[in-house]
Amino acid sequence: VDGIVLLDKPTNITSNKLLQKVKFIFNAKKAGHTGSLDPIATGALPICFGEATKVSKYLIESSKTYHVVAKLGEKTNTGDSDGIITEKKAFTQTNTERCESILKSFIGETEQMPPMFSAIKVDGVRLYKQARKGLIIPRKKRTINIHNIYLKNLFFDSMELVIHCGKGTYIRSLIEDIAAKLETFAHVKK
């Protein structure tokens, strides 16, 4: 089997589990996805089969667009609604103009700390495996590129964003960084 299938990834499944299911359905020997989506995330997940895996690097390197809802005032251990709330801080309602100004400060190249709950390997072990044991492993910041952030809605306890970014951007970390500038906490709700 050679080609690319664009899947609409449902929530509550890992990108790799979905890849394995599709690989089984197509009886494919060689297949790979072009970047992981978090288990709670939904959306487009390209799967490359056979000879098409040779072009997967171009899809991996390309920009992505995410539509995200962030819950304000709460931090979780995973950075999303699957995690346990670890800290709370009241969110003082801000105006749209201030929020948009803060969002603009993230546009361009910036440094980002990857979350502990990520597939990054440190000394051959995935960080999420260490995080599940309650360990915090030192990580290095990575350079990311945010092309644009659009504030779609701002509510008293959440904000809805559309983020266009380069490869390697962790939306959960970005949401936490945005919340810090808003002087609160936040996590990805959906």
Residues of the chain with pLDDT under 70: none
Residues paired with 162 in a beta bridge: 67, 150
Dist. CA 46–CA 59, nearest whole Å: 8
Q: Which two tokens stand for residue 185?
A: 């906490």
Give catalytic residue positions: 38
Could you give the percent of the chain with pLDDT greater than 90? 69
Give me the architecture of the 64-188 domain, per CATH.
2-Layer Sandwich (3.30)
pLDDT of residue 104: 97
Per-residue model confidence as pLDDT tens digits over 92-136:
777 889 999 999 999 999 999 989 888 888 888 888 888 888 888
Q: Supply φ then ψ for residue 153, to 5 degrees.
A: -150, 145
Q: Which residues fall within 8 angstroms of residue 49, CB to CB, at 6 or more apart?
A: 1, 2, 3, 4, 5, 26, 28, 30, 31
Report which residue type is found at 65. T
- Reported pTM: 0.89
pLDDT of residue 112: 95
- The answer to whether the 3-61 and 64-188 domains have the same CATH topology is no
Give me the architecture of the 3-61 domain, per CATH.
2-Layer Sandwich (3.30)
103, containing H or E segment: helix 96-104
Per-residue model confidence as pLDDT tens digits over 135-148:
888 889 999 999 99
Give me the residue spans of the domains in the chain.
3-61, 64-188
